[in-house]
Every structure is written in C-alpha cells, then in structure tokens.
Amino acid sequence: MRPGSIRGVEGNVSMNLRARHWRYGLLIGTAFVAGATLGPVLGTALAQDSTHTDMYRMLNVFGDVMQRVRAEYVDAVDDKELIENAINGALTGLDPHSSYMNAKAFKDMQIQTKGEFGGLGIEVSEDKGLIKVVSPIDDTPAAKAGIKPGDIITALDGKTLIGLSLNDAVDKMRGPPNSKIVLTVKRANVDKPLEVPLIRETIKIQVVKSRIEPNDIGYLRLSQFTEQADAGVKAAVKSMRAQNGGKLRGLILDLRNDPGGLLDQAVAVSSDFIDQGEIVSTRARHPEDSQRWDAKGDDILHGAPMVVLINGGSASASEIVSGALQDHRRAIVLGTRSFGKGSVQTVIPLPGNGAMRLTTARYYTPSGRSIQGLGITPDVPVHENREDRPSFGGEHEADYNKALSNQGGTGPQALPPRTDLPAIVKQIPDKPPEGFPKFDPAKPDETDFQLQQGLVLVQAMAAQKSASAN
C-alpha cells in the first residue's frame, strides 16, 4: 500500500461523515421535540461517529508523515522498511509482547518452536527501549557464559542497541555457527558493564533432562515448551522408572528459567500429571473467543508426590503448568515468584510471508487466578542465594512498560491456605546458610540450594504417603 493511497480513501469517507453529521443534526432537533427518549441512542451514535472521525484524521496525519519522510529525510528511505517500522511501532506500542515479524523473523520463529535454531540461546524481551534477558536456555552459549535473567544487553560488538527494535536486536545476535560476538551487559549489583564474549552455535534444545536422585526420587528438568516437550516428559518418566527397577517414589519437576513456549504443550504436560479437570482458560475481548482446556490423560506418576521448582525466569507455559498443578493440589511449588506473563499471543500470518504477534487474551489458572503481572507464588518460598538482588529496571512482567493489566481473575487469594504441606516445611529455610557454595552446574546436588530443599520436601511427602498407605 502506498502512503498516498490512504489519503485518497479518506477523502471519500469524509464526505460520508459530513452527510451523517447533517442527519444527526436533524435527529437532535427531533429529540428536543420528542423528549429524552432518544438521548442514549444519540449519545452512542455521536460517540461512534466521533471515534471514526478521530481515526480517519490520524490516518490522514499518518499519510502526511510518511510522505514527508520519503521526500525530506536526510537519506533516501526504503519504502518497505519504512512501512514495516511503522507497523512494528504500532504493535510494540500496545504491550511488551505484540510485534510485527517480517518474512525472515517469522521463519526464524517457526524454526525455534521446533527446538533447533542458530544463535546464542537467550530468551529476551523489550522494556522501555532496553533489551532484557528473560532467561538463558540450558546448555547454550549464553547459559555457559553465565548470562542471567534480568540482565540488560546494552551493546553488541561495541555497538549500542539503543534505538533498535527487539526484532532487529535478536537478528543481530543470530548468525552463522562458530562466529564470535561480544555482549555488553548491565547486571544488578555490578557497577561496571560486563563484556561477555560468545561463540554462536546451532542451538539444538534438549528440552528434557532427567536423572534418579537418592531414595528413588526422579529429577526432570524442562527447559522450554517446544514441540518435543510432552513427548520428552513421558519418555523421561518411563526411562527413570525402568532405570530404577520400576520404582519412582516422587518427582522434582524443574521449571526454573523456562521461558515457556507452546500452549498445547503446556496443556499436554499438565495432563501428564492431572487425571481430570481444568488446566487453563483464556478470556478474550469478546466472550465468544474465550476458551478452556481440560486434562485428557492419565497421571503417569500414578499419584506419586511432586515438587515443582520455579523462579523469576519461569514464564508463560511454565506458569500454566505450575499454576495448574498448584490449584489441583497435585504438586507443591517451591522457589521464588514466577515472571508473570499471563497473556496470549496469536500469530497471524500476513501478506508477503510476514506475520503479526498480537496479544488477544489473558491466561487463568483452574481456580480463576490471572497469571498476568502476578505470576505464581510458591507454596514454599526458597531463594537461590542470600542476597536480595535488586533488579536493574525490574525482573517481572509487572515491571515492564505498558504491561497488560491484571483483570477479571479471582485474585491472588483465590486459593485457601494449603493444609496438605508436610510438617518439615516449617524447617525449610528461605535462604542458603552463610558460606553456602556458589552454584556449579556440574555439581547441582551440592550447590543448588533450591534443589536441595525440593528433595527434602518431596522425600518427606513420599514418606508421608507411604505411612498413610500402611
């Protein structure tokens, strides 16, 4: 669409609007004679007409701006790029998660949901013009280099990201495998910017990892909700049970720093542990567009106790799963409050092989709690370290500029206090003791304090279950 064509259409519309104004003038005169009966009708009609007039006026301004940029900007401007930037600006101005994807960005997104793509392995978002890390993905260059949730990426190879859209920043971080890039990172409690050199890789996400912990407890790490998530969870539980002679007395489900992914995978993974009932619902602008998803499977753990680990990097699909398991009292949630991304983005293909990512609904847990902005509050709060890390610009969805409001839910107090927590919960500290070793991914059982407390809890739950069965 050429910029000039907007004005041509608007001219015809304006004539129709003037005709309607004349008719409304006659109706107003009639209303004085007939009394107040027509007041509400006229008010609605005039309000709608005023809204349309404002829209067409701003479209006229938009056309003027585009023409002026094309004619007078200091350098020649590519028309396609100009229009794409305008579309993206309109969408990103709505909330942090709506955006425009050109053909390349749309193709990259489709590849990523399949669990294999090129780059650094970072889930990022944009907040007030800053590129912020939601979470690094396990076993990727970013995770190995120590990139953390809440980090602000300020430059790439010494060139500032100020003024770049999120899509452009992501595009610059991607590149051919084995190519080098240096990220400049601002981190909370660190005075100077950090220079983090990375080498790009072909990212093949191993979304599920599992192992057997002492006392016949399974550990299952789910790093992202790609197309392989549900199948991977089922296979991991089956494999752990086989390795352990058919025994699996309990399970730790680790969703920390899991940025989410596909809704259908979140529903399927929840259904792996919940026999029946609601998993999640969405409420859209129009009631007829709202939806509900129920459990459709059997509990693959056969009722064995579960502990779910979450933190501020657990977002979206992770929050759906942890919220459903918490509401159904199927698991005890341990860790710190999750990110709070409770909004639904619908990807709508557009002409030219691009697409728009548009926020169309909010997520609600089975008890009716809105995840948006609030996240999931753990049943047992346990921090990963002793320091209260003040965030640089905020680490949760509610801290973001133009974040969607929390509406329509039953509130964070919808669930009554839990009465099924083992007595040992009162002995679980909310922070590591003085001198606790720094986290070492090669030694999780010795250095991962949240995991340690999760194992204490699930073992107590398993013992309680065995005692009640006897």
445 is catalytic: no
Catalytic one of 341, 343, 370, 448: 341
HSE-CB at 230 with a 13 A cutoff on CA atoms is: 18
E strand or H helix that includes residue 117: strand 116-119
Q: Are 149 and 133 in contact (CB under 8 A)?
A: yes
User: Token digits for 360?
Assistant: 């169309």
DSSP 2-42: -HHHHHHHHHHHHHHHHHHHHHHHHHHHHHHHH-GGGHHHH
Axis crossing angle, helix 39-72 with helix 3-34, rounded to the nearest 10: 160
Catalytic one of 108, 254, 327, 379: 327
- Phi then psi dihedrals of residue 293, to 5 deg: -120, 130
Strand partners of residue 392: none
97/91 Cα distance (integer angstroms): 9
Residues with Cβ < 8 Å from 362, sequence gap 6 or more?
Answer: 282, 283, 342, 343, 344, 370, 371, 372, 404, 406, 407, 408, 409
345/350 Cα distance (integer angstroms): 15
* Rg of the chain taking only CA atoms, in angstroms: 26
105/88 Cα distance (integer angstroms): 12
327 is catalytic: yes
Nearest to 225 by CA among 182, 258, 274: 258
318 is catalytic: no
Q: Are 459 and 250 in contact (CB under 8 A)?
A: yes
Nearest to 435 by CA among 447, 422, 445: 447
CA distances from 45 to 23, 39, 60, 172, 244 (A): 11, 10, 23, 49, 71
CA 424 to chain centre: 33
Residues with active-site annotation: 316, 327, 341
